[in-house]
Structure 1
Amino acid sequence: MSYPNSQETINLIKELVSIPSPSGNTNEVITFVEKFLAEYNIETKRNRKGGLIATIPGNDDTNHRMLTAHVDTLGAIVKEVKPSGRLKLDLIGGFKYNSIEGEYCQIQTSSGKTYTGTILMHQTTVHVYKNAGTAERNQENMEVRIDEKVHTAAEVRKLGIEVGDFVSFDPRVQLLPNGYIKSRHLDDKASVGILLQLIKQITVEGIDLPYTTHFLISNNEEIGYGGNSNITPETVEYLAVDMGAMGDGQSTDEYTVSICVKDASGPYHYELRKNLVRLAEENQIGYKLDIYPYYGSDASAAIRSGHDIIHGLIGPGIDSSHAFERTHISSIENTTKLIYHYLQSKMLL
């Protein structure tokens, strides 16, 4: 028995986080995933929402599994081209303005041109603004300084920048020699990298799966509905692979796989959770059970949309979610191992 090469997984995650993909503008990263899977002759199809579904036939085609991870990220959209030649933003996803203050960004126009900029407080200059440190970090006070010679709205529009253009944040990814990976958008591209490596291994090594298994690379999770469709009637178990949330009172860490007991949507399926714990213990996989108080997943979206499924949620532990995120290679490894054994285990029928 062998697991996917963890360094290859980390390198793949680095590629994924480096592709801009705020919710609503994910074609480039979905195309990247599509091409990755095509190299191994994996059957894929896009749904109308733009997500990607890969299917591996199993020994039992009457009962299916589905696993999902989302490739869309937090981001922003141009709300207003200001008279000063700067941009007002509207946020995409659940995060705070203070987490993007000072961040480099890209503005992608509808024609496909890309410009760079920096997200700043209007009152940034301490030599001019007395309230530079105390002014509220909100939509009114924060703006994008475009890296072009523009001083009016007309000059900005001449570049092709307009209301509705997508803004993505510099991931600032770093792979450290002691095993840490720091980057924006590890939520949830770390999980996408894990699933892609597992799909590759299953195919290359000809591993038999007990059940036909679908892998949904969803592209609308950050706005709440990425995984609530394209679930086959035969699907019994539905496992979301998404980040484990860390903070005061949490047991999740950066070194184990987090198994979610409950989030803001309510408890996850008790028997599936116990089965995941059993698999972890039988295979000496480091894990933590946890509750995420302000969280929802593609699995909870699927339940809310009325699907009659057994749902669960696991993922690598990630520090400082929706801001400057970090995890460790050991968490990637433990998550990979648990999914590897889950895919080959008996289902709760």
Structure 2
Amino acid sequence: MTRLNIDTDYLADTLKALLAIPSPTGYTDTVVRYVSAELERLGLPVELTRRGAIRAIRRGHQDRGARALVSHLDTLGAQVKYLKENGRLSLVPIGNWSARFAEGARATLFSYSGAYRGTILPLKSSGHTFNDEIDTSPIGWDHVELRVDALAFGKPDLDRLGIEVGDILAIDPQPEFLDNGFIISRHLDNKAGVAVMLAALKAMTEAEVETPVDIHWLFTIAEEVGVGASSIITHDVASLVAVDNGTTAPGQNSSEFGVTFSMADQTGPFDYHLTKKLVELCQEHDIRYQKDVFRYYRSDSASAIEAGADVRTALITFGVDSSHGYERIHMHALRSLAELITAYASSPVEIPRDYEETAGVSGFTRQPTAEAEQTLTPDAENTDLPQT
């Protein structure tokens, strides 16, 4: 199959729409409804788990040995830790992100009685009051507070407003889409991955692409807190490709351009054969790529494996500068990922044994080893060497 054309205008518009929907972990119903409606518009029936993870299956020639693609809808956020006597709110983070990036953020607080706007501020935020202490105060979640934009000058006022411990806070994304292709925003992890998957599906639908096996389009709702794809993989899925952000930073090989393959994260190496296949598809379709290893990172694939899913896993990413902060990506990487997804979905099945959950050793994969490259000795000529 020739490389499909990706509608980058659709991709950008979808990303803008996703960023405009607050969806910190624990408050994802609205974004689930939006993505479900878009999947149905693109022709796929939608199934939701009880909590709201999405499964949409695009049928192929066979249902067994299905392939799955996964992104997560939830983002970082915060939660009310307690109500302070000064009328402000102590916070804890949802997900792992620095209070450095929380300082100065505009946010929406969701309470049972309604939504309130506010700003996350350092405890000592006024230079006119604290002079140099504004630059020497400690950094951390114990050293910031939410100033609610309402008449709240003490704890009784907060009680009157209906604000309670545990209320969830969504951080404004503040997106910018530049003419040179750069996109700057909070929460590109992983709303950009969701937009990529939808853009790939749109391209396949318009081109009427047929696939050898079913393709499961999965969207999870709690990846930022480690739950991810722990309960959405069905037994007919043989391989799972996670679409998420790469870590463009000093000492890393990720890039804001092309596809970045994660060869391993903190949970260990990704599947040798699936990753190799994806790399070869990039080579075949002239898609730029690079490889990286992530030390402090886990994705939906990790939660699936830890929950007991016996699937091959790979992680394909768009390079993000300043991940979990004010993130920056480039449209080139998003388009490249969408192109790879379409190529993978339509590619032939190379490990038919994976149609079955368990089988004998016949047809099981082989990995090249150093022994395979050595000159055979007379005693070794008839040995069963690994295939290359």
Range into which the TM-score falls when normalised by the shorter chain? over 0.9
Per the alignment, residue 121 of structure 1 pairs with 122
Name the SS of the counterpart of 1:127 in structure 2: helix
Task: Tell me which residue corresponds to 1:277.
Answer: 279
Deviation at 1:153, TM superposition (A): 1.2
Q: Deviations over 1:236-283 (max 9, x none)?
A: 111100011111111111111111101101000111111111000111
Q: 2:26 aligns with which of 4, 24, 27?
A: 24
Q: Which position in structure 2 is the counterpart of 1:223? A: 225
Which residue of 2 is the match for residue 345 of structure 1? 347
Tell whether the 8 Å contact from 1:37 to 1:200 is kept in structure 2 after alignment: no
Q: In structure 2, what residue type is equivalent to 1:99? A: F
Separation in 2, partners of 1:37, 1:276: 24
**Are the aligned partners of 1:40 and 1:204 in contact in 2 as well (CA < 8 Å)?**
no
CA distance in 2, matches of 1:245, 1:40: 31
> Structure 1 residue 41: deviation in Å?
3.2
Count of paired positions: 348
Secondary structure of 1:311 counterpart = strand
1:272–1:348 contact (8 Å) kept in structure 2: no
Quick check: 1:199 aligned with 2:201? yes
The equivalent of 1:162 in structure 2 is: 164
The answer to whether structure 1 residue 173 and structure 2 residue 175 are counterparts is: yes
Instruction: Give me the TM-score of the superposition, normalised by structure 1.
Output: 0.97
How many Å apart are 1:348 and its aligned residue? 4.2
- Aligned residue in 2 for 1:296: 298
Give the Cα separation in 2 of the matches to 1:303 and 1:348: 22
Give the residue type in structure 2 aligned to 1:182.
Answer: I
From the CA coordinates, give the structure whose radius of gyration is larger.
Answer: 2
In 2, the alpha carbon distance for the partners of 1:40 and 1:141 equals 46
Question: Contact (CA 8 Å) 2:28, 2:221: kept in 1 or not?
Answer: yes
> CA contact under 8 A between 1:3 and 1:340: conserved in structure 2?
no
* Aligned-partner Cα distance in 2 for 1:205–1:278: 23
Q: Is the 8 A contact 2:105 2:172 kept in 1?
A: yes
Q: Report the TM-score, using the length of structure 2 for normalisation.
A: 0.87
Q: Does 1:331 align with 2:323?
A: no
Query: Aligned ranges for residues 62-211 of structure 1 at < 5 Å?
Result: 62-111=64-113, 113-129=114-130, 130-211=132-213
SS of alignment partner, residue 117 of structure 1: strand
Q: Which moved more, 1:75-84 or 1:152-161?
A: 152-161
Q: Is 65-74 or 149-158 further displaced after alignment?
A: 149-158
Aligned Cα root-mean-square deviation (Å): 1.2
Once residues 27 and 222 of structure 2 are traced to their aligned partners in structure 1, the CA distance between those partners, rounded to angstroms, is 10
Secondary structure in structure 1 of the residue aligned to 2:5: coil
SS of residue paired to 1:178: coil
Tell me the distance in 1 between the aligned counterparts of 2:335 and 2:201. Answer: 15
Structure 1 portions without partners, runs of 5+:
none
Q: Which amino acid aligns with 2:304?
A: A
Question: In structure 2, how many angstroms separate the alpha carbons of the residues matched to 1:104 and 1:235?
Answer: 41
8 A contact 2:183–2:328 mirrored in 1: yes
| Whole-angstrom CA distance in 1 between matches of 2:36 and 2:304 | 23
Q: Is the 8 A contact 2:121 2:144 kept in 1?
A: yes
Structure 1 ranges of 4+ moved more than 6 A: none
SS in 2 for 1:9: helix
- What SS does the aligned partner of 1:50 have? coil
Gaps of 5+ in 2: 352-388
> How many angstroms does 1:316 deviate by?
1.0
Query: What whole-Å deviation, never above 9, does each CA across 1:275-328 have from its counterpart, x for those lacking one?
Result: 111000111101110001100011111111221110000021111000000111
- Separation in 1, partners of 2:317, 2:343: 14
Percent of aligned pairs sharing the same letter: 35
Counterparts of 1:283 and 1:203 in 2: how far apart (Å)? 19
SS of residue in 2 equivalent to 1:120:
strand
